[in-house]
Amino acid sequence: MNIWKSIEIDMIEVKRLYIWIFQSYVLIYFNCASAQKFHYIFEKVENSEIRFYNEVHNDDIILEESIEDINLNIFYGSYSDLNGDLIHFFAYKTDNFIRFKVLDDILVLSASECSHGKIECSFNLLHLLELTKDISSLPDVINHYQIKCLLLIFNYFRVIDDKNIVHFLQGIFFKTFFYQNANEKNKILDLEEIFGFITIFKIDSYIKRNFISAYFKSLAIEHVFYEENLIFLSNKKEMIDFNLFNDHIPYKNLLINNCKILCNLENILTNRYILESFKILFKAIDIKSLIINNHHELITDIIDFHFFNQTLCIFKSIIFSNFSRSSEFVLYELSRAYSLNLKYFGLKNLSINIENLDIFTRKQELKGLLFNNVTFIGGIDRLQSFISSNEALDFVDFENVQTDVV
């Protein structure tokens, strides 16, 4: 009886050992598979170029496009076996269309400081570096995985922040998101994935800003960044009232600097893909405050407020400025927007009917009100009653406010 029991215990241990061996084999197999890397050698040739060499065994690697496995590591130092199984593949020079600070710095170092190095990464680095040599090198098809790898290259090699980077990314947008025959839903998901990648891999903010600028330039939308705010304007010389950015508003702002731009946006955003892309971009740069400055007064019946109705769910704060003849119409359209949940509301340089304003503000759970150079038409008692009875209000900023009793 004891013998059989001993044999039974031994068989259980054998099974456990077999399971352990099998699990270990699986783990080792997948670790080895995920650890497969492309290996490259680079050397500086005088101060004129950096030559990159492709190790022959790179051709045997089966590339799996997985965001979790994207990585790149640079090792500096001497590398003696430049006569081994290497193929000269790419040469970086200072006239490269896309320039990199890390590589430019290597070019100016003395031979004793850094003449050789090695790069390990999980993607075909040299193929993507080749694309940066000349903008005409961009292929007709480039997928979102390759875009992520390019962004990682820009980050690691510290791409030079100049107009070329925007032109390059603009070319990618034309080929990938605007003219490629792909399902719009898939393109939206690709764009979301790319911005998720930018966040996860902590891509530098200036690269992210240039990526967004390239998108807007692809749509012929003139824009500038001011601190962390985005401004849409007709031209770069247009005057901007920076006082519209109020310190009481705890969000980053989108300033639409005149209604002509708003009309253009109305036309652009009838495209569902572009509309969803805008939402993704605003979310990516954490814009939650909308400021519309009617710098050039336009007839409002040419605007159908598609922008309002489709995007206002993003914004937690809205400020209107310089609506001299159309403030009532704008307020009416704003009240019709679905999913509107404002925390802050402001008016500047306009007149407004106090009754309409009171009806609108009572529909929102406001934390702050800002009125600057505003004339209230009608008795102000209703507004004062709303302010005094609303315990959620954190602040009320009144500056140069007057009443015009009818």
Look at residue 387 in the predicted model and tell me its pLDDT: 81
Q: Which helix (H) or strand (E) holds 226?
A: strand 223-226
Please give the Cα distance from 88 to 237 (Å, whole number). 48
How is the chain split into domains, by residue range?
A: 222-406
Please give the Cα distance from 256 to 232 (Å, whole number). 5
Average pLDDT, the chain: 81
More confident residue, 294 or 376: 376
The count of other CB atoms within 10 Å of the CB of residue 308 is 22
At position 171, the amino acid (one-letter code) is: G
Of the chain, the percentage scoring pLDDT greater than 90 comes to 38
More confident residue, 302 or 18: 302
Pairing outcome for strands 287-293 and 395-399: unpaired
Q: Which residues contact 41 (CB under 8 A, 6 or more apart)?
A: 52, 53, 55, 79, 82, 86, 116, 117, 118, 119
Look at residue 313 in the predicted model and tell me its pLDDT: 82
Confidence of residue 343 (pLDDT cuts 50, 70, 90): very high
Pairing outcome for strands 116-121 and 86-93: unpaired
Q: Residue 134 has which token pair?
A: 């000349």
More confident residue, 244 or 313: 244
DSSP designation for 100? B
Please give the Cα distance from 256 to 270 (Å, whole number). 18
Residue found under tokens 């998108």: 215
More confident residue, 375 or 28: 375
More confident residue, 360 or 98: 98
More confident residue, 86 or 94: 94
pLDDT, one tens digit per residue, over 139-161 is 888 888 999 999 999 999 999 99
Q: Which residues pair with 344 in a beta bridge?
A: 317, 368
Look at residue 186 in the predicted model and tell me its pLDDT: 75
pLDDT, one tens digit per residue, over 351-369 is 888 888 888 888 889 999 9
Please give the Cα distance from 190 to 207 (Å, whole number). 18
End-to-end CA distance of the chain: 108
Indicate if the pLDDT at residue 182 is higher than 60. Answer: no
- 118, 170 Cβ separation under 8 angstroms: no
The SS3 of residue 248 is coil
Indicate if the pLDDT at residue 103 is higher than 70. Answer: yes
Dihedral pair phi/psi, residue 203, rounded to 5°: -65, 135
Please give the Cα distance from 197 to 210 (Å, whole number). 15
Confidence of residue 303 (pLDDT cuts 50, 70, 90): low
- 297, 321 Cβ separation under 8 angstroms: no
Indicate if the pLDDT at residue 83 is higher than 60. Answer: no
Q: Which helix (H) or strand (E) holds 362?
A: helix 354-362
Q: Which residues contact 298 (CB under 8 A, 6 or more apart)?
A: 259, 260, 263
Look at residue 96 in the predicted model and tell me its pLDDT: 96
Q: Residue 5 has which token pair?
A: 């029991």
At position 279, the amino acid (one-letter code) is: K
Query: Mean of the pLDDT values across residues 195-222?
Result: 93
pLDDT, one tens digit per residue, over 18-65 is 433 333 333 333 333 344 588 899 999 888 899 999 876 555 444 455
Confidence of residue 295 (pLDDT cuts 50, 70, 90): low
Residue found under tokens 């050698």: 41
Q: What is this structure's pTM?
A: 0.82
Give residue 326's Cα distance to chain centre: 34
Indicate if the pLDDT at residue 94 is higher than 70. Answer: yes
The SS3 of residue 4 is helix
Least confident span in 91-105, 234-248, 263-277, 372-386: 372-386
More confident residue, 335 or 104: 104
Indicate if the pLDDT at residue 302 is higher than 70. Answer: no
Give residue 84's Cα distance to chain centre: 42
